[in-house]
């Protein structure tokens, strides 16, 4: 069987892409934000070729969400080529969507009506922290966002089995993040901005902790009452003035990655 050339695959992707006029302004904005998250993840070096995923609930269609087409690099994702799928389907990769990604994201968004976006990555730093029994420690300001707001899920293999969804959701609970042990990290939010910024903070917190632990020196743990106070401050920040950073991220993308909005 002949393998399609790169140019032929690219042409097929262009045919499959949707036009802005085919959807509501709210859906288009959701697509813009999610495509930005994929491009930013690539920019920060968190991607894994075509693997790992971010997802966004479709405004006005609560049981549907947007996700990357399986074969695309993160740097090839645009608002128009994101795939819309139903949480109630049972998809395999012939639908153009990676099954483990569909299993994880469909399960989380289905269980958490307060969540509209989820970001999942397999960075080396994230996988390293996920293999430490004691998990994330409150030794930096970046970590405090997750004080009593992070869950842990034991490794069960590649996330293809829908039966694992309930255990993932139980471990996530009402938290802002999930450490998938020996696997990677997951953050969730009401907006793409929130889920992305939480992932940025979580990776930074993990990296800082690993550097500190590598020195062999005694770590200064932040007292619980200060952690709770600061975590609440961050929640207030994220729902208010913190949202001003998202347009700045988009302006940055316009400079470093022109054409991402197509």
* Contact (CB, 8 A) for 177 and 202: yes
Residue 248: how many other CB atoms lie within 10 Å:
9
Which two tokens mark 214? Answer: 């590598």
Helix (H) / strand (E) containing 177: strand 177-180
- pLDDT score at 93: 67
CATH 3.40.50.300 fits 16-252, yes or no: no
How does pLDDT run across 63-117, given as a tens digit for each residue?
999 999 999 999 999 999 999 999 888 876 667 888 888 889 999 999 999 999 9
* Residue whose entry in the numeric block shows the structure tokens 């971010």: 54
DSSP code, position 79: G
Burial 193-232 (b: 16+ CB within 10 A, else e): bbbbbbbbbbbbbbbbbeebeeeeeeeeebeeeebeebbe
Sequence spans of domains, the chain? 16-252
Listed in sequence order, the residues at least 6 apart from 122 whose beta carbon sits closer than 8 Å to its beta carbon are 48, 51, 52, 183, 184
pLDDT above 60 for 11: no
Least confident of 8-12, 148-152, 173-177, 234-238: 8-12
In the predicted model, is pLDDT for residue 188 greater than 80?
yes
Q: Decide if pLDDT at 23 tops 90.
A: no
Does the pTM of the predicted model rise above 0.75?
yes
pLDDT at residue 160, as a whole number? 81
Please tell me the predicted confidence (pLDDT) of residue 146: 97
């Amino acid at each position: 069987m002949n393998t399609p050339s790169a140019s032929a695959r690219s042409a097929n992707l262009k045919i499959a892409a949707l036009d802005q006029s085919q959807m509501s302004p709210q859906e288009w904005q959701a697509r813009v934000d999610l495509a930005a998250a994929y491009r930013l993840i690539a920019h920060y070096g968190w991607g894994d070729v075509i693997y790992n995923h971010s997802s966004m609930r479709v405004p006005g269609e609560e049981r549907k969400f947007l996700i990357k087409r399986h074969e695309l690099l993160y740097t090839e994702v645009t608002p128009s080529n994101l795939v819309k799928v139903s949480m109630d389907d049972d998809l395999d990769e012939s639908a153009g969507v990676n099954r483990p990604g569909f299993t994880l994201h469909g399960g989380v968004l289905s269980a958490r009506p307060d969540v509209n976006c989820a970001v999942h990555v397999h960075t080396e730093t994230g996988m390293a922290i996920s293999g430490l029994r004691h998990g994330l420690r409150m030794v930096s300001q970046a970590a405090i966002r997750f004080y009593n707001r992070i869950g842990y899920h034991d490794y069960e293999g590649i996330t293809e089995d829908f039966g694992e969804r309930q255990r993932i959701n139980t471990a996530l609970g009402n938290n802002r993040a999930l450490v998938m042990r020996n696997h990677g990290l997951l953050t969730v939010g009401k907006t793409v901005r929130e889920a992305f910024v939480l992932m940025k903070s979580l990776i930074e917190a993990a990296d800082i902790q690993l550097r500190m632990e590598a020195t062999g020196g005694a770590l200064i743990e932040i007292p619980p009452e200060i952690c709770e106070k600061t975590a609440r401050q961050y929640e207030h920040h994220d729902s208010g003035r913190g949202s001003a950073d998202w347009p700045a991220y988009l302006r940055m993308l316009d400079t470093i990655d022109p054409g991402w909005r197509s």
